[in-house]
Structure 1
Amino acid sequence: MAALALAFAFAAAALSPVADPSPSPARADNPIIQTVYTADPAPLVHNDRVYLYTGHDEDGSTTFDMRDWRVWSSGDMVNWTDHGSPLSLETFSWAGANAWAGQAIERDGKFYWYVPVSERATGQLAIGVAVADSPTGPFRDALGHPLVVNGEIDPSVFIDDDGQAYLYWGNPNLWYVKLNADMISYSGAVTQVPLTTEGFGARPGSTERPTLYEEGPWVYKRGSLYYNVFAAQCCQEFIAYSTAPTATGPWTYRGTVMPAQGNAFTNHAGVIDFKGNSYFFYHNGALPGGGGFTRSVAVEQFTYNADGTIPQMNMTTAGAPQVGTLNPYVRQEAETIAWANGVETEWTAAGGMNVSWIENGDSIKVKGAAFGTGARQFTARVASATSGGNIELRVDGPNGPVVGTCTVSGTGGWQTWADVSCPVSGATGTRDLYLTFTGGSGYLFNVDWWRFDAAAGGSGGDLQAVGAGKCLNVPNASTQPGVQVQILDCSDGPGQQWTHSATGELSVYSGDSRLCLDAWDNGTANGTQAVTWSCHGGTNQQWNVNADGTITGVQSGLCLDVSGASTANGALVHLWTCHGGTNQRWSLQ
């Protein structure tokens, strides 16, 4: 974390935080994580996604009580997916306490996370390194012992254009080593950076610490210029920075990036470029119960000045604007959240995370969901050891229009999962989506993931056979799996409202059951029956709706075909080699 060296931590704890207009949770999209207290952001861009590595302040902390690290990710800078805690003090058999501020980096397909901890045997602060094959872990101790031990904290890692990697760290001093290509060893001596007033700013009135540098270095390169962004001056810290012509200096102090503010006496920065924009991550104490030991990560978008200097910026409640939109027609993890009220997250029994501890009135906001011409239905995977409750789907605001309500019944356990679905009406365009949870007292249910299905061809939902002028129909609106579909006069009734999802499913509400169009028994031969079946996402339930009006099975490549080119009510539908006839062309109404 942007933890102070212990002597400074005790001194800071005795101080009252500087007054600051804290963000109002009711209006905020910043801080970006609300389900736990987070600190010391370390962003990493990988495969067109931002991975955010943070510390974790325990609830109710009155000192730096930190036992694990957390990972989040986002493709749009506003909706953040919780990947849980893939690294903790328990990962390092030699560590005793203090899961403080670290940074992760990728090299040659592996991810290295450098973190400060206290050695169990000596109590001395040391830098450890963990490694993983994925940016979300799980991480394992790469060495079985510390990489560096000199009693100081806050590692920052950087790989230069020539492939040379550097590790920087320090409070109250600043140090670096040159890492070897394996990223878990180094060559040469541990080098101390001279903290001259020219390099890191003069600290007014101080003889013991004459420069502003305090802790939390963040080193990176932009163009030909090297930047060191750091927490400055105890206590309350602000964020300052220096620049240099090389990775090792000499450093020139450039001024303030973010003044002291935010209801926390520490701060810690991370800076990245992502999708053509620049972002500055930091932490404050803005959430309810927040303060110097219960902090929360936030982010601002910024633009460098023409000469490469960083503009001064303030903390905001708005945060960064969304980059693009969120696709509601693919499976979205329930723990993908722009703003959460009341809920928490936990590991699922099968791996991954779910939203949990849901009570009446809790909610989740998902920003910028691109519904397009409209959604017809919503499905969520849920579990409840009680009698469940409801998921109200609202758009535009927490009290906005209700576009659907799903009833969640008890499933027999908090990790006993079932799918629930409900019709949706009025979810069009790009809207902020709110999942509001209602029910009785106590905990209601857990949510693992959710997904909308788009209306076929827009608002109508009918799939009309061009040759017959009749609609694809589930006989008698049956809810039983394995029923072969047919064509029937269009009635817009049960069994004829089809949706085509972004994952390729063609599904229908028949009675109260959501069923998917399915190639019977995974068939790939002419004459394979087209039936309805419980949705499972297999390739025999994935369909391409083509520009020429044909619908082809992803698994078989065969066309959805009205048997015998019949135009009569009740004519059965199967799969057949595509030939372009009118009995193989469908109009999405």
Structure 2
Amino acid sequence: MPNPYLPNWEYIPDGEPRVFGDRVYVYGSHDLAGSDRFCDYTLKVWSADIHDLNNWTCHGDSFHTRADRDHDSDTPWTDRELYAPDVVEKDGKYYLYAYIVGSEGCVAVSDRPEGPFKLISTYRVPEGAAPILEERQFIDPGVLVDDDGRVYIYCGYLSSYMAEIRPENMAEVIPGSFRPDILPVEEPFGFFEACSPRKVGETYYLIYSPKMGSRLDYATSDSPVGPFTYRGTIVDNGVDYPGGNNHGSICEIDGQWYIFYHRMTNNTVMSRRGCVERIEILPDGSIPQVEMTSLGFDQSLSPYRFTPADLACVLTGGCFITEKNAIDRAVVQITSGCVIGFKYYDFGVDYSSKTMDFTAKLRGCGNKGNLKLVLDDPECGEVIGSCSIGPDDAVLHAAVKAVTGRHSLFFVFEDGYSGYFGQFFEGRTLCELEGFVFHK
């Protein structure tokens, strides 16, 4: 599945990927399209067979802080929003850890990784614990069950902390185990939020969001309690794209490592959709930074299948993806100078053709302009063709240069007005892009 890898209507940010058995599960917050706040009052679970990442199954709601038409509330002491959960397996049970805004967080359990999860209790802390623990909020909890059965919880917003959890009940903090500033706020760490622990071989990883947090950075240690060494950035959702907060983690699925993260839609940081990129963990434990692409779990896209506009991974100049309804997504507010990019297409090895056809579906905005098709670099790449944009809704057709091999593709937009009166049309919206396809 390309990015975003879940259906158009689903917004699952803060994704924590976990492989249980032969399926990968994604646990995350639940955003709403066009919302004016982060998250809602429901957690949902999606999963896929590790050998078939193109077909994801929704398991429905797994936990609630407010009653809805189908479920009672699971938290009688609060009805606030649910943020950034994590789920771990211990002794055949699956434990959900949730942060609830401005309220005591909690632990819930299920016999199945998809839930639904039943409340065990709020977090239990020892008397005289540090003030940050006494609040029992445990912001953005990430949990690690180590090979020896010991359990650690990592949390924090603006500062980080960790504690050890008693494995007999999975909810009680062991006295004396609290450690503040497990990742410093000072550079190069610059900790902000979104702790997510993983163990790879004998190395402990903490993936997190630093200050100015469109990135996911990571640190490593040879102990679950640190000290941790800063290692760098894995992915940045703000590179040539309307960026915002980030939260996610790494996961090995059928021998391939991935970074799960989210990116923004609807011209807001509060409608976030899950994305994923392939990564590599080198022998020294480092993870080279990867770019944001349209690929998701795929290794390349086919230009000969219709590409919906919301697969764009480059959006510059002020354009953005928005939800028209549960089915339709378009790139809107396209003005002169905007660039929309997709990475990467495999055009094949057909050397017999000199040209191919390009078709794009646009919504007109009452103005005229031009769309240039550029390979590999929007500023200095090869221009393979162009289309004229009119004022009305249209399906554009153009003969463009035939292409072979693997390429990124960029649409560069220009207005269609020149001369003295062109100045009066600057900044006007040219069109909205719904999608496109190549054919021979």
Q: Which residue, out of 173, 176, 183, partners 2:162? A: 176
| CA apart distance, 1:169 | 0.7
Residue type at the aligned position of 1:316: T
| 1:212 pairs with one of 164, 185, 190 | 190
Amino acid corresponding to residue 304 of structure 1 in structure 2: I
**Post-superposition shift, 1:321?**
2.8
**What does residue 274 of structure 2 align with?**
297
Alpha carbons 2:160, 2:183 under 8 Å: kept: no
Q: String of CA shifts for 1:345-393, please: whole Å, max 9, x gaps.
A: xxxxxxxxxxxx99899xxxxxxxxxxxxxxxxxxxxxxxxxxxxxxxx
Correspondence for 2:262 among 283, 302, 305: 283
Structure possessing the higher radius of gyration over alpha carbons: 1
Secondary structure at the aligned position of 1:58 is classed as: coil
Q: Kindly indicate whether the alpha-carbon contact (under 8 Å) linking 2:161 and 2:181 is maintained by their aligned counterparts in 1.
A: no
Q: Which residue of 2 aligns with 1:157?
A: 143
Contact 1:173 1:192 in 2 (8 A): no
Residues 157 and 196 (structure 1), Cα distance of their counterparts in 2 relative to 1, 3 Å cut = closer
Normalising by the residue count of structure 2, what TM-score does the alignment of the two structures yield? Answer: 0.60
Q: 1:273 corresponds to which residue?
A: 252
Q: What is the DSSP-based 3-state SS (H/G/I as helix, E as strand, rest coil) of the residue aligned with 2:181?
A: coil
Cα deviation digits, residues 525-577 of structure 1 (max 9, x gap): xxxxxxxxxxxxxxxxxxxxxxxxxxxxxxxxxxxxxxxxxxxxxxxxxxxxx
Of the candidates 226, 231, 249, which is equivalent to residue 204 of structure 2?
226
Matching residue of 1:59: 33
1:133/1:290 CA distance change after superposition, 3 Å: farther
Out of 187, 190, 193, the residue aligned to residue 202 of structure 1 is 187
Distance 2:95 2:182 in 1: 28
Partner residue in 2 for 1:511 = none
| 1:74-106, Cα deviation, whole Å (9 max, x unpaired) | 112232111111111121111231210010011
User: Alpha-carbon deviation of 1:230?
Assistant: 0.3
In 1, Cα distance between the equivalents of 2:260 and 2:104?
Answer: 25
1:17-416 matches, cutoff 5 A: 29-33=2-6, 34-75=8-49, 76-89=52-65, 90-118=73-101, 124-143=102-121, 145-147=122-124, 149-181=135-167, 182-189=169-176, 191-194=178-181, 202=187, 211-234=189-212, 236-261=213-238, 262-285=241-264, 287=265, 289=266, 291-321=268-298
Distance 1:72 1:173 in 2: 30
* Aligned equivalent of 1:565: none
C-alpha root-mean-square deviation of aligned residues, in Å? 2.9
Q: Counterpart of 2:256 in structure 1: which amino acid?
A: N
Q: Distance in 2 between matches of 1:176 and 1:246?
A: 13
Percent identity for Structure 1 against Structure 2: 30
Q: Deviations over 1:473-503 (max 9, x none)?
A: xxxxxxxxxxxxxxxxxxxxxxxxxxxxxxx
Cα distance, 1:50–1:341 mapped onto 2, change above 3 Å: farther
2:60 is aligned with what amino acid? G
Question: Aligned with 1:84: secondary structure?
Answer: strand
Structure 1: tracts of 5 or more residues without a match: 1-27, 119-123, 204-210, 323-338, 343-356, 362-398, 400-589
Distance in 1 (alpha carbons) for counterparts of 2:104 and 2:140: 10
Give the Cα–Cα distance (whole angstroms) in 1 for the partners of residues 308 and 143 of structure 2: 32
Aligned-partner Cα distance in 1 for 2:234–2:174: 33
Segments of structure 2 that go 5 or more residues without pairing to the other structure are 66-72, 126-134, 300-306, 311-324, 330-359, 361-440
> In structure 1, what residue type is equivalent to 2:246?
N
Letter aligned with residue 194 of structure 1 = D
CA distance in 2, matches of 1:360, 1:125: 37
Runs of 4+ off more than 4 Å:
339-342, 357-361
Q: Distance in 2 between matches of 1:167 and 1:221?
A: 13
1:267–1:283 contact (8 Å) kept in structure 2:
yes
Give the letter for the 1:29 counterpart. Answer: P
Aligned to 2:15, the other structure's residue is in SS state strand
Change (3 A) 1:179 1:195: closer
- Tell me, in whole angstroms, the C-alpha distance in 2 between the residues paired with 1:175 and 1:360: 42
Q: Which residue of 2 aligns with 1:524?
A: none
| CA distance in structure 2 between the aligned counterparts of 1:62 and 1:359, rounded to whole angstroms | 21
- The separation in 1 between residues aligned to 2:308 and 2:77, in whole angstroms, is 36
Q: CA deviation at 1:152?
A: 4.8
- The residue identity in structure 2 corresponding to 1:279 is Y
Alpha-carbon distance in 2 for matches of 1:227, 1:188: 24
> Matched residue of 2:233: which SS?
strand
| Deviation (angstroms), 1:276 | 0.9
- Find the counterpart in structure 1 of residue 398 from structure 2: none
Inter-CA distance 151–110: structure 2 relative to 1 (3 Å threshold): closer
1:126–1:153 contact (8 Å) kept in structure 2: no
Partners of 2:30 and 2:198 in 1: how far apart?
Answer: 24
Query: How many Å separate the matches in 1 of 2:277 and 2:224?
Result: 26
Aligned length: 288
TM-score (norm 1): 0.46
Is the 8 Å Cα contact of residues 152 and 172 (structure 1) preserved in structure 2? no
Residues 204-258 of structure 1: CA distance to partner in whole angstroms, max 9, x if unpaired? xxxxxxx511111111111111111100113x43111111110000111111111
Name the amino acid aligned to 2:180: V
| CA shift in 2, pair 1:190/1:359, >3 Å | closer
Indicate the structure whose relative CO is greater, using CA pairs within 8 Å and at least 6 residues apart: 2
